[in-house]
Structure 1
Amino acid sequence: MEKTTSKGFKSSNIANGIVGVILGLLFLSPFYVILINSFKTKKELFEDTLSFPKVWSFANYKEAFKQLDFFRALGNSLFITVTSIIVIIVFSSMAAWMLERTKTKTSTFIFYLFVSSMLVPFQSVMLPLVRLMGKLRLLNMGGIIFMYLGFGAAMSIFLYHGFVKGIPKELDEAAMIDGCTKFQTFWHIIFPLLKPITITVAILNTVWIWNDFLLPSLVINKPSTQTIPLKTFFFFGQYTKQWHLALAGLVLTIIPVIIFYFSAQKHIIKSIAAGSIK
């Protein structure tokens, strides 16, 4: 009986391994196509998309780097992304804490209002929003950060709210007895305990904001303040598409996200483990 069970366990592991490898190859195949074709000439790219390049050349990367004005675009993307993440984390965590600790009909209504706003598609409000921001003269970096706070706060508050429920309210009361204000209680007692969910919120919003094209295309008009996704779009003209340069530009765009992921990998695993325990 034990031998039969062990054999069945091994066969299921092998089957799971095969399925995992197949799924992994499927998920990695787009990256393979992008990377391989970024080294090809335009003519060679259209001749055979899946083969290795005849000559491995970095000419596409040099030209894409130049046309993208990469360092300026990278700086703009980093500034908008980092600032937006900080603002979202600060306001969402404080709002979620107060909404969870304040057990009133008003706080419950406000929380459900935030949750229900996640169902509203951006496309349905983008034109009135851009028109309003134009009247307020906020079609700039400050305006787009403000809008990212508005669109990112709902999901972030929802995640923080669920995590705050697992923190005993006695900690708040003990801090108040020791003479802490609400501000001190949150930043010195509660916020450090929110580290796992804070990392999760930061990762989700970073991927969204870094790769976002639609909102920056509506708000940012000056070439000097354009982000990397906006710069990459200019490889696709009305009458011609420079796929070889576009793919090289996409690889340059992906590299910062990969660096961010590997540098935060340890914290990501910890946050997932802590979240599952909660």
Structure 2
Amino acid sequence: MAHQPHHHHHCTSETDHAPLAELLDLDAEVLHKHLANLVGWVDELTGGTAPRRILDLGCGTGTGTFALLQHFERAEAVAVDGDPQMLRHLSGKARALGLADRISTVQADLDADWPAVGTVDLVWASASLHHMADPDRTLREVFAALRPGGLLLAIEIDSFPRFLPDDLGFGRPGLEARAHAAMDARRAVDMPHLGSDWGPRLTRNGFTVEAERRFAIDLKPPLPASAGRYAQASLQRIRGGFDGELAADDLAALDTLLSSESPAGLLHRDDLTVRAARTAWAARRPE
């Protein structure tokens, strides 16, 4: 969900936690309409039979957990993540939202022993499957956890959020594209399953794929102030460790954009957009 907003399954350090948690929370805030569309689609797919037990795999700060519980008011959720700090963050939000009694958290490395989660009606896996060392094993475990007729919604990232106009005014056209290209080269090594077509994999692991939908996100100005913070948090994670991989002028331009004090910084721009794409597969365990 270090990377752009998709959910961790392995522990992060204390210093990594706060900025990543902020990024995930901002992703939920800025892309709330996209999230509402996904949850509304789940409602359609369940055919009026609301899920009572939900499993959120790689829950991060609880974006999916909270959206689903607020929509399905009689449901309870099991939120699973490998990072205990994320789970503590989620638990604090759950208390603030009055949802703590409907959520149980489980710390688990999903590449190791599968946690005892019981039988569930719905599995929500948002930007988590591509992190798995053996996604087929994970899908077999998901299949076993679902009741017959239960639904898996697997949401994966087609393109990470982009925010900048091509002409930044720094004489560095194409800066964001170059930064993403450098990051994509890293992801190809670190996350080889990112960008997979999950339909065939779901089918061979016993699921019936009922639908596949691509969600294009294109938010234009004027945007809320949180969009500037979202852009800053996203590009900050891209900026880290790029010395030597991007030209010095590109790095200097990124540093200016990331500065909270600079008038040209992301927090002060009125020309930001939010452009991204995600694909979701709805797959069912046959009756």
Do the structures match in fold with TM over 0.5?
A: no
* TM-score normalised to structure 2 length: 0.25
Larger radius of gyration: 1
Would you tell me which structure has more strand in proportion to its own residues? Answer: 2
Would you tell me which structure has more helix in proportion to its own residues? Answer: 1
* TM-score normalised to structure 1 length: 0.26
